[in-house]
Amino acid sequence: MEKDDGPSMEDQLELVARAFVDHYYYLFDNNRPSLSSLYHQTSLLTFEGQKIQGTENIASKLSQLPFQHCKHFISTMDCQSSPCAGGIIVFVSGSLQLQGEEHQLRFSQMFQLIPTQQGSFFVQNDIFRLNYG
Amino acid sequence: MDPDAVAKAFVEHYYSTFDTTRAGLANLYQDTSMLTFEGEKIQGSQSIVSKLTSLPFQQCKHNITTVDCQPSGPAGGMLVFVSGNLQLAGEQHALKFSQMFHLMPTPQGSFFVLNDIFRLNYA
């Protein structure tokens, strides 16, 4: 039997995924240009069906979205380990409040996070979809 | 073959199997497969199929609204992100859902589901 000396692998995965998600949406809502630090040249974003590749193009797309201020509220976060180089798959659902808009938009988003040599993670895959009522 | 076409073909096969012969989903999963269904984590083909066949409805129909896919890495895997609605027999309103699959190639030239996450989208 294992000693109870800390979080299980699964708990650790959950902690890492949660920390990443919180960081990602914090940057998105407060300092959108700095999201570029989370993507690499190989990164892929599909945003409402539009396919974009690479840090520059992705950062460009996100900074050109037709709203200045927004706030993400996370309802659910699920994660699983991916066999790709110790990666983590994260599946998020929540709502997006745009400044000046009365009603929040609901969205789902999935990420595949890949570890970096420095011990953090970058977003290799990112797919975003609004959930219309 | 065009990845988008592969993803679309897989999704159609998956949901038509789900909606007609749910137990047939067994050959789309392997021992390493992981399913998170509304937050509940299940591993391995047997346990996964057991969960899916014991869901509290007999008949259902998935109607797919969007399918997005991206290659997941050098192993030839594909990430597929689906949204749609789920009509249960006898229920007036369809349930909205999102689901993601991570498909990995098999030696026989098809795909199996390694990662599967399902969430209902409540209004």
Could you report the predicted ipTM of this complex, rounded to two decimals?
Answer: 0.95
Q: Do A80 and B96 touch (CB under 8 A)?
A: no
Nearest CB to B114: which of A83, A108, A127? Answer: A83
Q: Which residues of A touch B102 (CB under 8 A)?
A: 82, 89, 112
Q: What is the DSSP string of B88-117?
A: ETT-SSPEEEEEEEEEEE-TTS-EEEEEEE
Interchain CB contact of A85 with B (< 8 Å): yes
Q: Which residue has the tokens 């999963």?
A: B29
Buried b (16+ CB within 10 A) or exposed e, A112-121: bbbeeeeeeb
**In this structure, how many other beta carbons lie within 10 angstroms of the beta carbon of residue B34?**
20
What pLDDT, on a 0 to 100 scale, did the predictor assign at position A133? 62
pLDDT tops 80 at residue A1: no
What pLDDT, on a 0 to 100 scale, did the predictor assign at position A24? 98
Q: What is the pLDDT of residues A38-56, one digit of tens each?
A: 999 999 999 999 999 999 9
Measure A3 CA to nearest chain B CA, in Å: 23
Q: Do B66 and A87 touch (CB under 8 A)?
A: no
Apex B104 CA angle, A115 and A87, nearest 5: 10
Measure B68 CA to nearest chain A CA, in Å: 7
How far is Cα of residue B30 from the mean position of the Cα atoms in its chain?
13
Q: Which residues of A touch B70 (CB under 8 A)?
A: 44, 46, 51, 125, 127
Interchain CB contact of A89 with B (< 8 Å): yes
